[in-house]
Amino acid sequence: MKKMKDMPPADRPRERLAAKGPAVLSDTELVEAIIGRGTANRDVRAIAKDICDKIRIKGIVPSYKDLQDIEGVGETKAAQIMACFELGRRHYMEKNSSRKILKPEDVLPLVDDIRAHRQEHFVCMSLNGAGELLGKRVVTVGLVNHSLVHPREVFSDAITDRAASIICAHNHPSGSLEPSSQDIQITRQLKEAGTTLGIQLLDHIIVTKDGFISLKEKGML
Protein backbone atom coordinates (compact mmCIF):
# COMPACT_ATOMS: atom_id res chain seq x y z
CA MET A 1 0.00 0.00 0.00
CA LYS A 2 1.41 3.39 -1.03
CA LYS A 3 1.94 5.72 1.90
CA MET A 4 0.01 8.98 2.09
CA LYS A 5 3.16 11.10 1.72
CA ASP A 6 3.93 9.33 -1.57
CA MET A 7 0.54 10.15 -3.10
CA PRO A 8 0.10 13.20 -5.36
CA PRO A 9 -1.55 15.97 -3.32
CA ALA A 10 -4.60 16.01 -5.59
CA ASP A 11 -5.25 12.32 -4.85
CA ARG A 12 -5.22 12.66 -1.07
CA PRO A 13 -8.59 12.31 0.70
CA ARG A 14 -8.87 15.81 2.17
CA GLU A 15 -7.97 17.45 -1.13
CA ARG A 16 -10.41 15.23 -3.04
CA LEU A 17 -13.13 15.96 -0.50
CA ALA A 18 -12.58 19.70 -0.89
CA ALA A 19 -12.65 19.46 -4.68
CA LYS A 20 -15.44 16.93 -5.26
CA GLY A 21 -17.30 16.43 -1.98
CA PRO A 22 -17.33 13.54 0.52
CA ALA A 23 -19.50 11.24 -1.61
CA VAL A 24 -16.59 10.39 -3.90
CA LEU A 25 -14.46 9.01 -1.06
CA SER A 26 -14.40 5.37 -0.02
CA ASP A 27 -15.03 4.43 3.62
CA THR A 28 -11.30 4.13 4.21
CA GLU A 29 -10.61 7.49 2.62
CA LEU A 30 -13.27 9.11 4.81
CA VAL A 31 -11.52 7.74 7.90
CA GLU A 32 -8.19 8.97 6.54
CA ALA A 33 -9.71 12.43 6.18
CA ILE A 34 -11.02 12.33 9.75
CA ILE A 35 -7.87 11.19 11.55
CA GLY A 36 -5.52 13.15 9.30
CA ARG A 37 -2.21 11.50 10.04
CA GLY A 38 -0.62 8.30 11.21
CA THR A 39 2.12 7.65 13.73
CA ALA A 40 5.88 7.28 13.53
CA ASN A 41 5.42 3.54 13.00
CA ARG A 42 2.21 3.36 10.93
CA ASP A 43 0.92 5.31 7.97
CA VAL A 44 -2.53 6.85 8.19
CA ARG A 45 -3.78 4.64 5.33
CA ALA A 46 -2.94 1.42 7.20
CA ILE A 47 -4.60 2.70 10.37
CA ALA A 48 -7.73 3.79 8.49
CA LYS A 49 -8.02 0.38 6.83
CA ASP A 50 -7.89 -1.35 10.22
CA ILE A 51 -10.56 0.99 11.59
CA CYS A 52 -12.87 0.23 8.66
CA ASP A 53 -12.24 -3.50 9.05
CA LYS A 54 -13.20 -3.22 12.72
CA ILE A 55 -16.45 -1.46 11.79
CA ARG A 56 -17.32 -4.12 9.21
CA ILE A 57 -16.48 -7.06 11.49
CA LYS A 58 -18.42 -5.67 14.45
CA GLY A 59 -21.38 -4.75 12.28
CA ILE A 60 -22.00 -1.89 14.71
CA VAL A 61 -20.29 1.28 15.81
CA PRO A 62 -17.09 0.08 17.52
CA SER A 63 -16.51 1.06 21.11
CA TYR A 64 -13.82 3.44 22.30
CA LYS A 65 -11.83 0.44 23.57
CA ASP A 66 -12.27 -1.45 20.27
CA LEU A 67 -10.70 1.48 18.44
CA GLN A 68 -7.83 1.83 20.89
CA ASP A 69 -6.99 -1.85 20.38
CA ILE A 70 -5.88 -0.93 16.84
CA GLU A 71 -2.17 -0.21 16.50
CA GLY A 72 -1.70 3.50 15.92
CA VAL A 73 -5.04 4.57 17.41
CA GLY A 74 -4.70 6.46 20.65
CA GLU A 75 -7.10 8.59 22.66
CA THR A 76 -7.28 11.38 20.09
CA LYS A 77 -8.05 9.24 17.04
CA ALA A 78 -10.53 7.07 18.95
CA ALA A 79 -12.32 10.19 20.16
CA GLN A 80 -12.42 11.65 16.63
CA ILE A 81 -14.08 8.53 15.21
CA MET A 82 -16.58 8.20 18.06
CA ALA A 83 -17.46 11.89 17.82
CA CYS A 84 -18.13 11.61 14.08
CA PHE A 85 -20.49 8.67 14.60
CA GLU A 86 -22.34 10.48 17.36
CA LEU A 87 -22.64 13.71 15.35
CA GLY A 88 -24.10 11.76 12.43
CA ARG A 89 -26.54 9.98 14.72
CA ARG A 90 -27.78 13.21 16.29
CA HIS A 91 -28.14 15.28 13.16
CA TYR A 92 -28.95 12.72 10.48
CA MET A 93 -30.56 9.64 11.94
CA GLU A 94 -32.84 11.42 14.39
CA LYS A 95 -34.01 14.04 11.92
CA ASN A 96 -34.41 11.78 8.90
CA SER A 97 -35.83 8.65 10.44
CA SER A 98 -39.55 8.35 10.99
CA ARG A 99 -39.43 4.60 11.55
CA LYS A 100 -42.26 3.65 13.87
CA ILE A 101 -42.10 0.71 16.24
CA LEU A 102 -45.60 -0.63 16.70
CA LYS A 103 -45.01 -4.34 17.28
CA PRO A 104 -42.11 -6.71 18.04
CA GLU A 105 -41.66 -7.56 14.36
CA ASP A 106 -40.82 -3.90 13.66
CA VAL A 107 -37.74 -4.26 15.86
CA LEU A 108 -36.23 -7.19 13.94
CA PRO A 109 -34.66 -5.19 11.07
CA LEU A 110 -32.96 -3.02 13.69
CA VAL A 111 -31.31 -5.95 15.45
CA ASP A 112 -30.57 -8.14 12.45
CA ASP A 113 -26.89 -7.26 12.83
CA ILE A 114 -26.60 -8.95 16.24
CA ARG A 115 -28.54 -12.17 15.62
CA ALA A 116 -25.55 -14.27 14.60
CA HIS A 117 -22.93 -12.82 16.95
CA ARG A 118 -21.03 -15.28 19.13
CA GLN A 119 -21.25 -12.96 22.12
CA GLU A 120 -24.34 -11.44 23.63
CA HIS A 121 -25.00 -7.90 22.44
CA PHE A 122 -27.50 -5.88 24.47
CA VAL A 123 -29.18 -3.15 22.41
CA CYS A 124 -31.38 -0.26 23.50
CA MET A 125 -33.69 1.65 21.16
CA SER A 126 -35.04 5.07 22.17
CA LEU A 127 -38.49 6.13 20.99
CA ASN A 128 -40.36 9.41 21.07
CA GLY A 129 -43.97 9.82 22.15
CA ALA A 130 -45.20 8.80 18.70
CA GLY A 131 -43.26 5.53 18.81
CA GLU A 132 -40.70 6.78 16.30
CA LEU A 133 -37.11 5.66 16.55
CA LEU A 134 -34.74 8.25 17.98
CA GLY A 135 -31.64 6.14 18.31
CA LYS A 136 -30.24 2.65 18.65
CA ARG A 137 -27.12 1.74 20.58
CA VAL A 138 -25.26 -1.33 21.74
CA VAL A 139 -25.12 -0.96 25.52
CA THR A 140 -22.89 -3.92 26.33
CA VAL A 141 -21.10 -6.79 24.64
CA GLY A 142 -20.94 -9.78 26.95
CA LEU A 143 -19.29 -13.15 27.13
CA VAL A 144 -20.35 -16.23 25.19
CA ASN A 145 -23.40 -16.91 27.33
CA HIS A 146 -24.26 -13.75 29.24
CA SER A 147 -24.13 -9.98 29.20
CA LEU A 148 -24.00 -7.88 32.35
CA VAL A 149 -26.31 -4.88 32.06
CA HIS A 150 -27.01 -2.08 34.51
CA PRO A 151 -30.03 0.26 34.20
CA ARG A 152 -27.67 3.24 34.42
CA GLU A 153 -26.05 2.36 31.07
CA VAL A 154 -29.36 1.46 29.46
CA PHE A 155 -31.12 4.72 30.30
CA SER A 156 -28.24 7.21 30.06
CA ASP A 157 -28.57 7.79 26.30
CA ALA A 158 -32.36 7.53 26.41
CA ILE A 159 -32.36 10.46 28.82
CA THR A 160 -30.11 12.42 26.45
CA ASP A 161 -32.51 11.60 23.61
CA ARG A 162 -35.45 12.88 25.70
CA ALA A 163 -37.05 9.53 24.93
CA ALA A 164 -40.59 8.69 26.02
CA SER A 165 -39.91 4.97 25.98
CA ILE A 166 -37.33 2.34 25.14
CA ILE A 167 -37.23 -1.17 23.72
CA CYS A 168 -34.36 -3.47 24.62
CA ALA A 169 -33.13 -6.49 22.74
CA HIS A 170 -30.30 -8.96 22.99
CA ASN A 171 -29.15 -12.08 21.20
CA HIS A 172 -28.67 -15.61 22.51
CA PRO A 173 -25.58 -17.11 20.85
CA SER A 174 -26.69 -20.55 22.10
CA GLY A 175 -29.67 -20.45 19.75
CA SER A 176 -32.14 -20.95 22.59
CA LEU A 177 -35.05 -18.53 22.83
CA GLU A 178 -35.80 -19.46 26.43
CA PRO A 179 -35.35 -16.40 28.69
CA SER A 180 -32.81 -16.98 31.42
CA SER A 181 -33.41 -16.02 35.03
CA GLN A 182 -30.98 -13.16 34.45
CA ASP A 183 -33.02 -11.99 31.42
CA ILE A 184 -36.17 -11.89 33.53
CA GLN A 185 -34.40 -10.15 36.41
CA ILE A 186 -32.88 -7.38 34.30
CA THR A 187 -36.22 -6.85 32.56
CA ARG A 188 -37.87 -6.24 35.91
CA GLN A 189 -35.06 -3.92 37.00
CA LEU A 190 -35.33 -1.92 33.78
CA LYS A 191 -39.09 -1.67 34.10
CA GLU A 192 -38.77 -0.33 37.66
CA ALA A 193 -36.01 2.10 36.70
CA GLY A 194 -38.03 3.31 33.72
CA THR A 195 -41.05 3.94 35.93
CA THR A 196 -38.92 6.08 38.22
CA LEU A 197 -37.40 8.02 35.31
CA GLY A 198 -40.63 8.40 33.36
CA ILE A 199 -39.27 6.40 30.42
CA GLN A 200 -41.37 3.31 29.83
CA LEU A 201 -39.80 -0.03 28.93
CA LEU A 202 -42.12 -1.20 26.15
CA ASP A 203 -40.56 -4.58 25.46
CA HIS A 204 -37.49 -6.76 25.81
CA ILE A 205 -36.85 -8.94 22.79
CA ILE A 206 -34.55 -11.95 22.55
CA VAL A 207 -33.27 -12.92 19.11
CA THR A 208 -31.35 -15.81 17.63
CA LYS A 209 -30.35 -16.64 14.08
CA ASP A 210 -33.64 -18.46 13.60
CA GLY A 211 -36.24 -16.62 15.63
CA PHE A 212 -37.26 -14.20 18.36
CA ILE A 213 -39.50 -13.83 21.38
CA SER A 214 -41.07 -10.82 23.02
CA LEU A 215 -41.02 -10.87 26.80
CA LYS A 216 -44.03 -8.57 26.78
CA GLU A 217 -46.02 -11.00 24.65
CA LYS A 218 -44.91 -13.79 26.97
CA GLY A 219 -46.35 -11.90 29.94
CA MET A 220 -42.94 -11.34 31.53
CA LEU A 221 -43.04 -7.54 31.34
- Could you report the per-residue pLDDT of 95-131, keeping only the tens digit for each? 545 578 989 999 998 888 888 888 899 999 999 998 9
- Residue 112 vs residue 166, higher pLDDT: 166
Which among 45, 35, 42 has a CA at the least distance from the CA of 76? 35
Inform me whether the pLDDT recorded for 193 exceeds 90.
yes
Residue range 27-74, pLDDT digits in tens: 889 999 999 999 999 999 999 999 988 877 655 677 888 899 999 999
Q: Output the CATH code of domain 104-214.
A: 3.40.140.10
Q: Would you list the domain boundaries of the chain?
A: 4-95, 104-214
DSSP for 156-206? HHHHHTT-SEEEEEEE-TT---SPPHHHHHHHHHHHHHHHHHT-EEEEEEE
What pLDDT does residue 171 have?
A: 94
What is the residue type of 123?
V
CA dihedral 142, 144, 145, 150 (to 10 degrees): 0
Which among 203, 194, 174, 200 has a CA at the least distance from the CA of 111? 203
Chain mean pLDDT for the chain: 87
Which residues 6+ apart lie within 8 Å of 10 measured at CB? 16, 19
